[in-house]
Amino acid sequence: MRWKKQLLELSPYLPGKSIEEVKKQYGLEKITKLASNENPFGCSDKVLESLKKYQPKTELYPDGYATNLRETLAEALQVDINQLLFGNGSDEIIQIISRALLHSDSNTVMATPTFPQYRHNAILEGAEVREVPLKNGDHDLDGMLAAVDEKTNVIWLCSPNNPTGTYISEEKMASFLSKVPQDILVVIDEAYYEYAVAEDYHDSINLLKEFKNLIVLRTFSKIYGLASMRVGYGIADRDIIRALEPAREPFNTNSFAQLAAKTSIEDTEFVEVCKLKNREGLEQFYQFCGENALEYFPSQGNFILINFNRDGDEVFQYLLSRGFIVRSGKALGFPSCVRITVGSKEQNEGLIELLKEFLAEEL
């Protein structure tokens, strides 16, 4: 085969251990997965009800325009229906953007460590990847500007950033955007937007009015608890959306997912409750870190990156064998850290108890 040579640099996505696998391996009855930033409270009951009532016409293709979802979302966001692009998860929007703008005679600028799919898709398209190290967990926006040249086609910003949970302030974001040439697409990945509470967190939809070279990515996978349904979306100026649309597969979001997403938007109370419980959960971890003198990044997301000052795999393994799945920081660019998804109060307590035992044993 004459594979694209860049394909040979890439490895398949390695999914975390499944709950069933871990149960079997360690002979455990109960496993708590706090590894993929999923919502510990599931999704809105209204979504489950709507799916139960739904009588699918399985032989028909879904609405490729996702009309019902589109109209509901446009209304909720107060944007025009032509400013939205839907994907099979926001992962697919990242793919669509890369497909549309990146090629072997272009480069793309992003932070590191950040969400790995930007790099992965850019490499697949043969583009040069320019990674600018985070500074103390934050995007080095000046460094990123300095990395831009006439062949830069896309800049990726992740705020709150995965895996650090750090964010870019409104002021810094606006100042950065005003310095980026208008013919470069700036992507702001807001997968954790609904969890952010910082007063000066960017109002990207407002920034869209001023900056036509911007696209904002959000998802139903995180706070809405619909990761299995695979729906994400982009919000941008209608000209950007029109240009990207041909790179999207015509029936990329399915009927169940469209219905679930649409219904989930309507249950604003569920989102509020999850947001609040997430803040309370983060406080549990902050307190634990404070008591044990562990460094962490204050998080605007539903996860926390904690520095244990030892091999992250060690902490991961200790927790795994006791029924908690988290993410070792090793594969995330923070080898002495562990990334923990904030769970329910009880889940957090259980995990923190084990972490205390781990630290005590290590002394």
Q: Quick check: bond before 160 cis, omega within 30?
A: yes
CA 361 to CA 319: how far, in whole Å? 13
Q: Which of residues 316-355 bind ligand PLP (CB under 6 A)?
A: none
Q: What are phi and psi of 151, to 5 degrees?
A: -105, 5
232 near ligand PLP, judged by CB under 6 A: yes
Question: Nearest-CB residue to ligand PLP?
Answer: 89
Residue 125 contacts residue 105 (beta carbons within 8 Å): no
40 near ligand PLP, judged by CB under 6 A: no
100 near ligand PLP, judged by CB under 6 A: no
Of 221, 300, 341, 347, the residue at the interface with ligand PLP (CB under 6 A) is 221
Q: Name the nearest CA neighbour of 85 among 256, 228, 259, 248.
A: 248
Question: How many other CB atoms are there within 10 angstroms of residue 17's CB atom?
Answer: 16
Number of residues that bind ligand PLP (CB under 6 A): 13
Of 130, 141, 187, 189, the residue at the interface with ligand PLP (CB under 6 A) is 189
219 near ligand PLP, judged by CB under 6 A: yes
Specify the length of the chain in residues. 363
The partner residues of 328 in beta bridges, in order of sequence, read 338
Q: Which is nearer to ligand PLP, 162 or 278 (CB)?
A: 162
Angle between helices 45-53 and 255-266 (to 10 degrees): 140
* 279-283 contact pairs (CB < 8 A, 24+): 279/197, 280/345, 281/342, 281/343, 281/344, 281/345, 281/348, 282/342
Q: Which of residues 259-318 bind ligand PLP (CB under 6 A)?
A: none
191 near ligand PLP, judged by CB under 6 A: yes
90 near ligand PLP, judged by CB under 6 A: yes
Angle between helices 90-101 and 117-124 (to 10 degrees): 40
CB of 227 to ligand PLP, least distance (A): 5
Q: Name the nearest CA neighbour of 159 among 190, 115, 195, 117.
A: 190
Q: Which is nearer to ligand PLP, 12 or 27 (CB)?
A: 12
Q: What is the DSSP letter of 357?
A: H
158 near ligand PLP, judged by CB under 6 A: yes
- Write down the residue that tokens 């944007």 correspond to: 79
CA 327 to CA 304: how far, in whole Å? 10
CA 212 to CA 202: how far, in whole Å? 16
Stretch that binds ligand PLP, among 89-97, 203-211, 254-262, 290-298 (CB under 6 A): 89-97
Q: Which is nearer to ligand PLP, 102 or 111 (CB)?
A: 111
188 near ligand PLP, judged by CB under 6 A: no
91 near ligand PLP, judged by CB under 6 A: yes
CB of 309 to ligand PLP, least distance (A): 25
Q: Residue 185 is encoded by which pair of tokens?
A: 């697409």
Q: Which is nearer to ligand PLP, 118 or 318 (CB)?
A: 118
Of 32, 83, 98, 162, the residue at the interface with ligand PLP (CB under 6 A) is 162
The pattern of x and - marking residues 115 through 134 that bind ligand PLP according to CB under 6 A reads x-------------------
227 near ligand PLP, judged by CB under 6 A: yes
Binding site for ligand PLP (CB under 6 A): 37, 89-91, 115, 158, 162, 189, 191, 219, 221, 227, 232
